[in-house]
Amino acid sequence: MSSIKSAVIDYKPSEMNGNDHYDGSRPWKLDATNIKVTINKNPRTVPDPGSAEERSQKVCSDHMVSAVWTLKDGWQQPEITPYGPLPIMPTANVLHYATECFEGLKLYRGMDGKLRLFRPLANCARMVKSAERISLPGFEPEALVEMIRRLCAMDGSKWLPAHCRGSFLYIRPALIGTDPCLGFEVPKEALLYVVISYWPQPSYSDGARGLRLLASEAEELRAWPGGTGFAKIGPNYGPALKAHGRAKRTGCDQVLWLYGEDCQITEAGSSNVFIVRRESNRQLQMVTPPLEGGSILAGVTRQSILELVRARLSGDTTKEVGPVESIEKNFTMGELLQDLSDGNLEGVFICGTAAFVTSISVIEFRGRTIELPNNNLALVSLLRKWLFDIMYGGEKSEWADIIEEF
């Protein structure tokens, strides 16, 4: 298995251009070796399991970590402070021009009682790419990993105590343009911060149910060639809420985002999509849309699944599943329907940090209810087990980053 260093996105700082007209592409030194800490003197209680407060997803842990950037002085020393409101002006650039990017990862309490992050460097490197796209300052991804590790070390023991084996907290790094200048220009001030959100605890049997997806309409696109689909920037998500709301109202779980006249399958909600099918020679194949073209979000889970399948299920295998060929190429609704009628479709699943690996049972497509087969259960269960074991310490892996608590 490849090391964390080669994870998902290679971060290469762009050249310093020495130009005063900052375009968001310059790397800036962020030093997280010396984080200033202010302890929260009024810590809150952890919501009771099953409580409305837990389900609200409004509760965060006692602390946050943040760093201020200005064009003049670069990144200042990061600070851990009590969780609380941000000091930004009503004219702040982010509130008008959506100069924002974010990440999503989880802190896992292992079956061995240890805290772990899963490939955090991949998330932080992706955040640098997102920042560059939305004209926010870059930084060394390792420094953000260090900020996240420190925050988790500080709040992990209380918010995800050692007896909560098999549970997680949700970590949300965000970067916003805070410049109070209302003029339309690249922000000269920004704030990077990380909070830990308290989520309802998972039921890993949920994946067996199978989700219902509502296919997007022809006139509503999530992303397009030359657009920003590859970046985890706020402006990709607000406009997607309308279709998401319609999906929920019609009894679906998420939107299946299609693109083009041939209805290419791209993503589902905030998850990547895999189609499992048989070639004419009966070879089992996993197809997921390619990253080239810039419309697909390069999911860490997607990449991990591709790497695991290529390492463990290609060629002859004695496993209960396989061999499986994994291919990155476009796949249309027409091809899906053809496979379905030819008996070649094994199933569809989605994957992401939030969704984990989950089968799809139904696609509502322009007035048609398409019931999908679920013949790929063994493959999906295997992928879930492999990832679960790495995240929760059942298998030793370079992808797991153990957090020492204090």
Residues in contact with ligand PLP by the rule CB under 6 A: 104, 232, 267, 270-272, 297, 299-302, 352-353
Which of residues 149 and 232 has its CB atom nearest to ligand PLP in the complex? Answer: 232
Peptide bond into 323 cis (omega under 30): yes
> Considering the complex, what minimum distance in angstroms separates the CB of residue 108 from ligand PLP?
14
Nearer to ligand PLP, 178 or 216 (CB): 216
Question: b vs e for 3-16, b when ≥16 Cβ sit within 10 Å of the residue's Cβ?
Answer: ebeebbbebeeeee
Between 297 and 336, name the residue whose CB sits nearer to ligand PLP. 297
Q: Cβ closer to ligand PLP: 122 or 382?
A: 122
Q: Using the minimum distance from each CB to ligand PLP, give the nearer residue, 74 or 235.
A: 235
CA 254 to chain centre: 16
Q: From the CB of 17, what's the least distance to ligand PLP, in Å?
A: 30
Q: Which is nearer to ligand PLP, 22 or 170 (CB)?
A: 170
Shortest Cβ distance from residue 104 to ligand PLP (Å)? 6
| Torsion sign across C-alpha atoms 215, 221, 224, 228 | negative
Nearer to ligand PLP by C-beta: 78 or 120? 120
Position 232, amino acid? K
Contact by Cβ (8 Å): 399, 118: yes
- Nearest CA among 376, 337, 335, 344 for reference residue 359: 376
Residues written for the chain: 406
Query: Measured from the CB atom, is 109 or 119 closer to ligand PLP?
Result: 119
**Cβ of residue 113: shortest distance to ligand PLP, in angstroms?**
25
Q: How far is the CB of 42 from ligand PLP (least distance, A)?
A: 33
* Cα–Cα dist 401/240, whole Å: 33
How far apart are CB 305 and ligand PLP at their closest, in Å? 9
Whether the Cβ atoms of residue 259 and residue 266 lie closer than 8 Å to each other: yes
The nearest distance, CB 4 to ligand PLP, in angstroms, is 14
Which 3 state secondary structure label does DSSP give 146?
helix
The dihedral built from the CA positions of residue 298, 304, 307 and 308, taken in this order, carries a sign that is: negative
Nearer to ligand PLP, 63 or 129 (CB): 129
Q: Which residues of 216-248 are buried (b: 16+ CB within 10 A; e: fewer)?
A: beeeebbbeeeebbbbbbbebeeebeebbeebe
- Among 342, 326, 348, which residue's Cα sits nearest to residue 256? 348
Alpha-carbon separation of residue 86 from 52, 169, 181, 194, 274 (angstroms): 25, 22, 17, 12, 39
The DSSP bridge partners found for residue 60 are 197
The minimum distance between CB 214 and ligand PLP, in angstroms, equals: 16
Distance CA 296, CA 151 (A): 30
> Whole-number minimum distance, CB 187 to ligand PLP, in Å?
22
Count of helix runs (H) and strand runs (E) in the chain: 8, 19
Cβ proximity to ligand PLP, 5 vs 41, nearer residue: 5
Least Cβ distance, residue 299 to ligand PLP (angstroms) = 3
240 in helix, strand or coil?
helix
